[in-house]
Structure 1
Amino acid sequence: MTTIRVLDENTANKIAAGEVVDRPASIIKELVENAIDAHSSKIEIEISEGGIRFIRVTDNGTGMSHADAQLAILRHATSKISDAGDLNKISTLGFRGEALPTIAAVAKFSLTTRLQDQHLATLVEVAGGVLTDVREAGGSIGTTVVVEDLFYNTPARQKFLKKPAAESSHIHQIVVKLALSHPHIAFKLINNTRLVLATPGNDNLSDTLTSLYGNTLSAELLPVYFTEDDMVISGYLSKPTLLKSSRQWQTFFINSRVVNSRVIAKALDNAYHSLLPKSGYPLAVLGITVPVDSLDVNVHPQKSEVKFADDNKMFRAVYHAVAETLRAQQAPSQIAASVSLPGGPAYRAYPQPAAAVPAGRPEYAAVRQLELLDTARQPVSLGAAQALIARESPLAVFDHIAPSAGNSQPSGQTDFDLYPLGQIADCYIIAYNQDGMFIVDQHAAHERILYDKLGKSTERIPAQQLLVPPFIEFDEADCNLIAENRQLFFELGFSLELIGPNTMRLLEIPADIPLSEAEQIVRQILQAVQELHQPSAQELRHACLQITACRAAIKAGDSLNMRQIQALLNELCQTTLPYTCPHGRPAIIRFTPQDLAKMFKRT
């Protein structure tokens, strides 16, 4: 008697089902992808009890003949490929020929399908992998698949399902991603007889986003379009001011196939690296079109992952697409964080008041230094700041700055200028321009200025030798860490020399930080090097520049005069990303005339 045996067809189907069907959401994905391949323009999904008890997917696609409907429930039966050579050029979503038989093996299954030129549909019923009925029936053009009592015949797998609410959430996520990847199809999702999702199907991704996420969120998105060789990347990204708690808000699809890709996710993270805090993720919907022979979609049973012929090329393309979108010449006033106000009827815009403040009006006494000098409107440069590095206060950056001659708009600057009104609590700057009123966090703004300035150095950050080098005590572990990362510290503008067992002399520091902050910056960089687990060179440099910019920036509580405020605003307006600090916190909050009108009930 042999110990190796060939499993019967029913058992083999149940084992195969474990690869394709692990929860109701995976059934929805397989059935909807088949409906998409059938050239459907409308797809309706209905579920109850999280899809555990009932799933129905209806489409208006091409449908199947009586003979094809019977073949469709057999293993490895498919219309998508004909031989192994087709696996190198797959252009459809479903191609394995396993979805229907494996689903039918673990549930009560029925398929109703009709071709356009037929008067009657074909009904096929299967229970637990056993064909129970095939007959003609009434039905609309297209295909309807009903799945009931999932895992009723495999109770060991049924107990691993989550509660209906959790399963419904997974289904909702899957349908959202499929709808985003196919905006030309009108999707409907009905959960326990309640319509929870509907898309217009007008082939407009912006309208699809609005229908799924709402007008408020869609208004915070930036369009993406990037081409390189035979690759096209398009879609939408959220402004850095819009954060989400997880990656479920990120949708990537390649040749209209929804995929999970570490390469794309990593490129997205790197492009946003100085704009978001550690606790947040940007919303992203990125569609990538590449030649079908440049990727392998047959590396995962559920077809949720793909393998690229060139990972580095994909990484670079996505990184540049995202980075260029974020650096695009959009008015920073449109990207700045806006206040959230309740909706209301149409408003009427009021003329902007003149800049001049009436003299002798006591009601203006509460606002600090309201006079707006003509010279304060002139652009100023922070170039002279390097000569002031020995000064103890970071406010020295804005002292002794002479106004530039000529045009009031610096060369290369966007049409975005801010004019100061004053300072509140020695922390927030009030400013205005033609777009409304702005509140600027002076610390976050100066952080952004310093980070951009330091980051422009592709090699070593400009440094200045100290006339009287200070001595810093470290423990043995820190001394060893500094020795191991001597090149990193050198590139960041720090030069340290070991002069004793645990003593180092600080010879050079970056030209834009005060001497009083130098020791703390070095110690924080050491801490970052210890905490980062196998960081890349870019991640390490970013973390160190964040620390340097944060410690060197002016702080809350530092009092600024009007010339210093104007210098800060002018430099902020010339940065590439003025609306957030390097940690991702907002640097500017905007109040439009419309917002102010709503606040004052002038609507």
Structure 2
Amino acid sequence: MPDIIQLLPDSVANQIAAGEVIQRPASVVKELVENAIDAGATQITINIKDAGRTLVQVSDNGCGMSETDARMAFERHATSKIREANDLFNIRTMGFRGEALASIAAIADVELYSKQHDSEVGTFINIVGSRVQKQEVTQCANGTNFLIKNLFFNVPARRKFLKSNSTELKHIINEVQRIALANPEIGISLIHNQDPVYEMASGDNIRKRVVSIFGKGINQNLIPVNTETSLVSIKGFVGQPKYARKTYGEQFFFVNNRFMKHPFFNRAVMQAYEKILAPDSYPAYFLYLEVNPDCIDINIHPTKTEIKFENESAVWQIIQASVREALGKFNVMPSIDFDQAGSIDIPPPPKDIGSIEAPRIEVDPTYNPFNVEVKSFPSGTRGATIGNYQNASSKHEQIQHWEKLYNDFNHSSDEEENNNPLSPFNAQQLPQDEHHRLPIQQAESTTARSCFQFKNKYIFTPVKSGLMVIDQKRAHERILFENFMAMLAQQQIASQQLLFPHAFELDASDAELLRSVVPDLRSLGFDIQQAENNQFVINGFPSIIENISPMEIVDSLLEDLKNTATDLHEKAKEKIAASLAAASAISYGHFLRDEELNQLIDQLFACSTPNFSPSGKQVLTIMPIEQFEKLLK
């Protein structure tokens, strides 16, 4: 039997490696920018076309490469960062495996221009699908310039599963945010289809970099954190609880200027906010950890975003204590300082006031509160005390014969008032037993359905087979969703203009997400205009929405769209209608009057799918009578 095990060709092996390292255009941006940082660049420019499908260009002013190094950089496991296995435990550079460029060159058309500062000429290399097409001497600027064209051109299955341009751009923006926050001293520019997304100057500190990325509004939200220990040093900022959001998005951990994901440390921060944070809310934090490289292992994941710590439990406790201390210093957390309470100084009395006597209270021992003759209390003074009765009695005398003030009015209007069965004057003339009785017409129009609200969350109403339980928020979501879909189908734009337009600013990721859905929002009655950069103005919103601010709806809509698992442009209107319904529906804890309960039930059963909410959750259930009988046996 012949041998069947063979070595894979380098081109195939590189494509397999690319599947681990290069998952989407954002991965290309991450690897190239990290290489530029390792090259000592102080200014990096990222130029994107079609969210990276057509072009990803990363240029820097770093040290550049020689002709030999430029060619060797595309070989697998060729790196300048490590020489032996022990170097893996003392890594301070971003890249070290030597897989990125080889993986990128296997699935794209790559052009490289690189020149060292002390050289007169540079090097040009063109590699397509791991094959070198051209290598020559050229004139170029100092540093390195990478052009990645037609990503995944030879792996159509990978290119097919890329998401929409807005989704892929959002991932690129997220990667740029992580790198820019980790390196605030480096100037970074991001351009998409010739439109600037970020223009971050070099030499920033951490606060300036956070504000330049997430907008000026976050500046007042930041609380500084600064802790020095022998095990770890922590600096950065945490957010105030009142600015917490409903989903993740502004939570960043950095270790030795490298972004990392660490759910265990995230729980330490969340526990520090215990009892001062609204349920299902997540505060912003930007925490920078400095540890000895010997105490961490960053070589456990191809993307190098998961890091293992030698003393995780100790670091966890330090993070929690640091965040709690920062919140306490800025009076965010309630605290009691017993030492301070015991050191209050009471000033001595002045010397020129003489002796101080205790105050004396004069009491009338003959006063009898039951001796007062009470004839009648005026309307509205039944809760008045006996001591206030004399004032009330004098006012009562002053308003006697008040009806003479209306003698000059038209008598016909008086007759109309008396003929009106709902007139308050006529109601006072009714006998006492008829005063609280509803008119016959009104009693006949009252619905016979008996329903009540439980815990301001569920609606109970009896049905023929038992007891129906309705989730009021999900029911309202279903009603609003079908109303929004009907508006979209009939192109009915019912917009309510705001008297004072509301201006707001978003970070680049949220701004791009909002821009992608603005046309669909306008068809739903929203009037949203982009002012400049990432600033927007709400001029109007759907008239069907009540008792909620437009900004709350936009925030909830963005948070919901961030968690969508599929592409926004696949059934985009349904997703936006569902997200908008979820943001606009009445919340749990909202009290409903009887007529509102009946109206909600009527509208729910007028829907085409009353049993399930737009997100697929159950709206109602029926508890059979037999189940109650079993419970009472």
TM-score bracket for the superposition, by shorter chain length: 0.5 to 0.7
Unpaired runs of at least 5, structure 1: 337-380, 382-404, 409-554, 558-603
What displacement does 1:129 show? 1.1
- Alpha-carbon separation, structure 1, partners of 2:288 and 2:33: 19
SS in 1 for 2:119: coil
- Alpha-carbon separation, structure 1, partners of 2:174 and 2:70: 29
- Alpha-carbon separation, structure 2, partners of 1:3 and 1:222: 62
What displacement does 1:230 show? 3.5
Residue 14 of structure 1 aligns with which residue? 15
SS in 1 for 2:249: helix
- Alpha-carbon separation, structure 2, partners of 1:44 and 1:166: 21
**How does the TM-score come out when normalised to structure 1?**
0.55
Residue 275 of structure 1 aligns with which residue? 276
SS in 2 for 1:143: strand
Unpaired runs of at least 5, structure 2: 339-343, 348-588, 592-633
What displacement does 1:248 show? 2.4
Specify whether residues 31 and 407 from structure 1 end up closer, same or farther in structure 2 by C-alpha distance, changes over 3 A only.
farther
What displacement does 1:110 show? 1.1
SS in 1 for 2:110: strand
What displacement does 1:227 show? 1.3
Rg larger for: 2
Query: Which amino acid in structure 2 is aligned with residue 27 of structure 1?
Result: V
Where do 1:64-143 residues align within 5 Å? 64-143=65-144
What displacement does 1:120 show? 1.4
Specify whether residues 261 and 331 from structure 1 end up closer, same or farther in structure 2 by C-alpha distance, changes over 3 A only.
closer
- Alpha-carbon separation, structure 1, partners of 2:66 and 2:227: 42
SS in 2 for 1:19: helix
Specify whether residues 331 and 308 from structure 1 end up closer, same or farther in structure 2 by C-alpha distance, changes over 3 A only.
closer
What displacement does 1:157 show? 1.1
Q: Which has the higher relative contact order, 1 or 2, with Cα contacts under 8 A spaced 6 or more apart?
A: 1
Q: Aligned residue pairs: how many?
A: 342
What displacement does 1:278 show? 2.8
Specify whether residues 95 and 67 from structure 1 end up closer, same or farther in structure 2 by C-alpha distance, changes over 3 A only.
same
CA displacement, residues 506-529 of structure 1 (integer Å, 9 cap, x when unaligned): xxxxxxxxxxxxxxxxxxxxxxxx
Query: Which amino acid in structure 1 is aligned with residue 239 of structure 2?
Result: S
What displacement does 1:331 show? 5.3
Residue 399 of structure 1 aligns with which residue? none
Specify whether residues 65 and 556 from structure 1 end up closer, same or farther in structure 2 by C-alpha distance, changes over 3 A only.
closer
1:204 and 2:174 aligned: no
Specify whether residues 245 and 113 from structure 1 end up closer, same or farther in structure 2 by C-alpha distance, changes over 3 A only.
farther
1:178 and 2:183 aligned: no
Query: Which amino acid in structure 2 is aligned with residue 318 of structure 1?
Result: I
- Alpha-carbon separation, structure 1, partners of 2:231 and 2:200: 30
Residue 6 of structure 2 aligns with which residue? 5
Query: Which amino acid in structure 1 is aligned with residue 147 of structure 2?
Result: V
Specify whether residues 273 and 331 from structure 1 end up closer, same or farther in structure 2 by C-alpha distance, changes over 3 A only.
closer
Residue 54 of structure 1 aligns with which residue? 55
Residue 236 of structure 2 aligns with which residue? 235
Q: Which moved more, 1:249-258 or 1:268-277?
A: 268-277
Where do 1:83-482 residues align within 5 Å? 83-328=84-329, 330=330
What displacement does 1:196 show? 0.7
Where do 1:454-533 residues align within 5 Å? none
- Alpha-carbon separation, structure 2, partners of 1:308 and 1:232: 14
- Alpha-carbon separation, structure 2, partners of 1:92 and 1:226: 24
What displacement does 1:556 show? 13
Which runs of at least 4 in structure 1 moved beyond 2 Å after TM superposition?
A: 244-248, 405-408
Where do 1:536-547 residues align within 5 Å? none
What displacement does 1:311 show? 1.1
- Alpha-carbon separation, structure 1, partners of 2:87 and 2:209: 33
Query: Which amino acid in structure 1 is aligned with residue 193 of structure 2?
Result: N
Q: Which moved more, 1:236-245 or 1:184-193?
A: 236-245
Specify whether residues 407 and 3 from structure 1 end up closer, same or farther in structure 2 by C-alpha distance, changes over 3 A only.
farther
- Alpha-carbon separation, structure 1, partners of 2:331 and 2:9: 66
Residue 41 of structure 2 aligns with which residue? 40
C-alpha contact 1:78 1:95 (8 A) present in aligned 2? yes
What displacement does 1:5 show? 1.5
Specify whether residues 194 and 556 from structure 1 end up closer, same or farther in structure 2 by C-alpha distance, changes over 3 A only.
closer
Specify whether residues 321 and 331 from structure 1 end up closer, same or farther in structure 2 by C-alpha distance, changes over 3 A only.
closer
Query: Which amino acid in structure 2 is aligned with residue 262 of structure 1?
Result: P
Query: Which amino acid in structure 2 is aligned with residue 135 of structure 1?
Result: E
CA displacement, residues 562-603 of structure 1 (integer Å, 9 cap, x when unaligned): xxxxxxxxxxxxxxxxxxxxxxxxxxxxxxxxxxxxxxxxxx
Specify whether residues 215 and 146 from structure 1 end up closer, same or farther in structure 2 by C-alpha distance, changes over 3 A only.
same
C-alpha contact 1:173 1:248 (8 A) present in aligned 2? no
Query: Which amino acid in structure 2 is aligned with residue 78 of structure 1?
Result: T
SS in 1 for 2:17: helix
- Alpha-carbon separation, structure 2, partners of 1:258 and 1:304: 6
RMSD: 2.4
